[in-house]
Amino acid sequence: MAPMGIRLSPLGMAVFCLLGLGVLYHLYSGFLAGRFAFFMLSEPAAGGPETPHGSAPGGAVDLRELLAVSVLAAVRGGEEVKRVREGNVLNAKAKGKTREGAEEQLTTGDLLSNRRMFYLLKGAFPAVQINSEERVDTADQETVSWDRSIPEDIKQKIQPKEVPAESVTVWIDPLDATQEYTEDLRQYVTTMVCVAVNGKPVIGVIHKPFSSYTAWAMVDGGSNVKARSSYNEKIPRIIVSRSHAGKVEQVARQTFGNKTVIIPAGGAGYKVLALLDVPEKNQEEADVYIHVTYIKKWDICAGNAVLRALGGHMTTLTGEEISYTGSDGNEGGLIASINMNHKALIEKLPDLEKTSHK
Q: Band of the pLDDT at 14, cuts 50, 70, 90? A: low
DSSP 48: B
Measured CA to CA, the distance from residue 287 to residue 276 in angstroms comes to 9
Which 3 state secondary structure label does DSSP give 189? coil
Residue 351 has pLDDT above 80, yes or no: no
Domain ranges in the chain with CATH number 3.30.540.10? 60-225
Which 3 state secondary structure label does DSSP give 94? strand
* Strands 190-197 and 222-223, bridge-based pairing: unpaired
pLDDT at 156 (0 to 100): 96
Find out whether 175 is annotated in a ligand binding site.
Answer: yes
Measured CA to CA, the distance from residue 50 to residue 346 in angstroms comes to 49
Residues present in the chain in total: 358
Give the residues across from 130 on adjacent strands. 170
Measured CA to CA, the distance from residue 293 to residue 342 in angstroms comes to 19
Mean pLDDT of the chain: 83
Find out whether 137 is annotated in a ligand binding site.
Answer: no
Residue 235 has pLDDT above 60, yes or no: yes
Residue 342 has pLDDT above 70, yes or no: yes
For residues 192-221, give the mean pLDDT: 98
Least confident of 26-35, 151-160, 337-346: 26-35
Element counts in the chain: helices (H) and strands (E): 9, 19
Assess contact for 85 and 146: CB atoms under 8 A: no
DSSP H or E stretch at residue 35: helix 10-42
Assess contact for 193 and 121: CB atoms under 8 A: yes
Assess contact for 83 and 76: CB atoms under 8 A: no
Give catalytic residues, as residue numbers. Answer: 110, 178
Handedness of CA 8, 11, 14, 18 (dihedral sign): negative
Q: Which residues of 149-176 are buried (b: 16+ CB within 10 A; e: fewer)?
A: ebeeebeebbeebbbebebbbbbbbbbb
Residue-wise pLDDT for 23-38, tens only, equals 445 444 443 443 333 3
Residue 34 to residues 29, 43, 181, 332: CA-CA distances in angstroms? 8, 14, 56, 60
Q: Packing angle between helix 63-87 and helix 108-124, nearest 10 degrees?
A: 160
Residue 13 to residues 20, 95, 281: CA-CA distances in angstroms? 11, 83, 93
pLDDT over 90, % of the chain: 61
Find out whether 299 is annotated in a ligand binding site.
Answer: yes
CATH architecture of 227-348: 3-Layer(aba) Sandwich (3.40)
Assess contact for 288 and 345: CB atoms under 8 A: yes
For residues 48-64, give the mean pLDDT: 62
pLDDT at 286 (0 to 100): 95
If phi over 0 gives left and psi between -120 and 50 gives alpha, with beta otherwise, what is residue 5? left
Assess contact for 223 and 276: CB atoms under 8 A: no
Phi and psi for 53 in degrees, rounded to 5? -55, 135
pLDDT over 70, % of the chain: 78
Q: Band of the pLDDT at 119, cuts 50, 70, 90? A: very high
pLDDT at 142 (0 to 100): 74
Least confident of 56-60, 63-67, 194-198, 280-284: 56-60
275, 268, 274: which is closest to 313 by C-alpha?
275
Assess contact for 71 and 144: CB atoms under 8 A: no
Least confident of 51-65, 122-136, 197-211, 276-290: 51-65
Find out whether 176 is annotated in a ligand binding site.
Answer: yes
100, 80, 307: which is closest to 194 by C-alpha?
307
pLDDT at 5 (0 to 100): 47
Query: CATH number of the domain at 60-225, please?
Result: 3.30.540.10
Least confident of 82-96, 176-190, 285-299, 301-315: 82-96
Residue 84 has pLDDT above 90, yes or no: yes
Residue 354 has pLDDT above 60, yes or no: no
pLDDT at 352 (0 to 100): 56
Residue 51 has pLDDT above 50, yes or no: no
Measured CA to CA, the distance from residue 329 to residue 339 in angstroms comes to 27
Residue 318 to residues 134, 336, 344: CA-CA distances in angstroms? 29, 12, 11
Phi and psi for 320 in degrees, rounded to 5? -85, 140
